Amino acid sequence: MTAAEAYAIFARDLIQYEDAVRVVIVVPLTDHQFDALASVCYNIGTGASARAAFVKPINAGGSPAQIRAASLMWRRPLEILSRRTGEADQFAALYSTARPKARSTEDRPIRLVA
């Protein structure tokens, strides 16, 4: 398999996780927030993401501390904590470079809906 083939498969498979985030999160998200949630969804699955503790505080406009605490509740296996921490950090921090693409096959960066 070539790198291009691997990226194409990843882009194809990622669509379901991005769509799952769009379904469960009803408030507008910034790029970094969307990307962080898509990463979590990719890791825990679409069903678990829909029931995850962080969904409610995000949709309710919770504070950054509430959202972070809810994101870090997913601790099993223990080795996953570093990934959850990284995703929580990504959710909280603005990108300092150009906006990322939602999928590698997209021509333009993701567009936020106001």
Q: What is the pLDDT along the chain (114 residues), one digit of tens a residue?
A: 898 898 899 889 999 999 999 999 999 999 889 999 998 899 889 999 999 999 999 999 999 899 989 988 877 777 778 788 878 888 887 776 544 443 334 455 445 443
Classify domain 3-92 by CATH architecture.
Orthogonal Bundle (1.10)
Integer angstrom CA distances of residue 53 from 17, 26, 27, 57: 17, 15, 16, 8
Could you tell me the two tokens for 101? 């693409």
* Rounded (10°) angle between helices 31-44 and 81-92: 160
- Identify whether the C-beta of residue 32 lies closer than 8 Å to the C-beta of residue 93: yes
